[in-house]
Amino acid sequence: MNKDSKIYVAGHRGMVGSAIWRALTAKGYTNLIGRTSAELDLKNQQAVKDFFNNEKPEVVFDAAARVGGILANSEYPYQFLMENLQIQNNLIDTAHIAEVKKFIFLGSSCIYPKLAPQPLREEYLLTGSLEPTNEWYALAKISGVKACEAIRKQFGKDFVSLMPTNLYGSHDNFDLKTSHVLPAMIRKFHEAKLNDNESVELWGSGTPLREFLHVEDMADAAVFALENKMPENLYNIGTGKDLTIKKLAELIQKVVGHKGDIIWDVSKPDGTPRKLMNIDKMKNAGWESSIELEEGIKLTYHWFLESTNDYKQVKY
């Protein structure tokens, strides 16, 4: 791929899309294009076709999606299914018609069955029932994976799907009502630190095991997929390592510098006991993550401080 090849990053303002944009820029790619949702409604098929006709991108990264936590998924199942189908179908089909050279589709580990064996292998897709709390989003993403696979199979085109584990990093969501566990903990420990190191209450027992990948590693994997011939249609992206939620909390508490107690509310649900990705296929292709969890948490906390009014109040 030439450094001046026109590359369209769909969802370039989001956590993943912005990380991919930074990674491409750092690698010397100079012809990047992006559109906000106000500038281009990806749910509008004709608008997407007009955009491709005018811009003629050679590469597309699909990091655009309607996302949200358990509450949003349960309250808006139709929107999570239909809007994600519309976004990805318009991008995939138009990219196919426009003869885009490479299409990289980004999804989520939630595509795998709720009770699939651990670690999760790519072959486990569609072998069991999904987790009910996010099945609508998962169904849309599975359709995207299969659409890319069908294009590879029928037309021999370079369409590939990357499924990351739990992501965190700069530009993450730190809203306590809608954020995921790692950024929520960063904010909770930070605010408790500012409030005379008051105790922090966390949900569950702390025993479930989870895997976390820094978004800069995710972006690096996406650029790797761009620059290399990927023989498979679907790859898991992760670290291959997990830890208990309790260990995660203690690590974040250490990085933030909170000195108070941690109280576990065991009346709250734990969720799935374990969720770990098998990353053998990506490793065999030649890519591995490089950011260790503690270093990634430090980077994320630093970004959080810089993006809030608390930065000057806290000695980092």
pLDDT score, position 315: 43
Q: Which among 8, 29, 112, 137 is annotated as catalytic?
A: 137
- Check whether the bond before 119 is cis (ω within 30° of 0): yes
Is 2 within a domain?
A: no
| pLDDT score recorded for residue 242 | 97
* 127 and 231 co-located in one domain: yes
Q: Is 137 one of the catalytic residues?
A: yes
Q: Is 256 assigned a ligand-binding role in the annotation?
A: no
Please report the pLDDT score of residue 72 as a whole number. 75
Residue 221 domain flag: yes
Q: Any known ligand binding at 11?
A: yes
- CATH number of the domain residue 266 falls in: 3.90.25.10
Whole-model pTM: value is 0.93
Whether 108 maps to a domain, the answer reads yes
Structural domain count of the chain: 2
Question: Is 77 marked as a binding-site residue?
Answer: no
Give every residue of the chain whose pLDDT is below 70, as ranges: 70-71, 309-316
Q: Which domain CATH number covers 109?
A: 3.40.50.720
Does residue 138 sit in the same domain as residue 187? no
145 is in an annotated binding site: no
pLDDT of residue 74: 78
User: Strand pairing of 209-210 and 59-62?
Assistant: unpaired
Same domain for 91 and 233, yes or no, is yes
268 is in an annotated binding site: no
Q: Are residues 107 and 189 in the same domain?
A: no
pLDDT at 157: 97
Query: What number of H helices and E strands is found in the chain?
Result: 10, 13
Q: Please name the residues in contact with 65: beta carbons below 8 A apart, sequence gap of 6 or more.
A: 11, 84, 87, 88, 137, 141
Contacts of residue 169, defined as CB under 8 A and 6 or more positions apart, other chains included, come to 15, 19, 214, 215, 216, 296, 299, 300, 303
- Residue in 293, 286, 237 with CA at minimum distance from that of residue 16: 237
Task: Say whether both 75 and 120 belong to one domain.
Answer: yes
In sequence order, what are the beta bridge partners of 244? 209
User: Residues 44-56: pLDDT tens digits?
Assistant: 999 999 999 999 9
Closest CA to 192 of 262, 275, 250, 107: 262
Consult the annotation and say whether 187 binds a ligand.
no
Residue 143 within any structural domain of the chain: yes
Query: For the chain, where are the alpha helices, taking DSSP H only?
Result: 15-26, 45-55, 70-75, 77-97, 135-155, 181-194, 215-227, 245-256, 280-285, 293-306
Look at residue 239 in the predicted model and tell me its pLDDT.
98
Task: Assess whether 204 and 71 both reside in one domain.
Answer: no
Q: How far apart are CA 145 and CA 106, in angstroms?
A: 9
126 is in an annotated binding site: no
Q: Which domain, by its residues, includes 260?
A: 181-209+241-274+292-311
**190 among annotated binding-site residues:** no
**What pLDDT does 309 receive?**
66
Position 316 in a domain = no
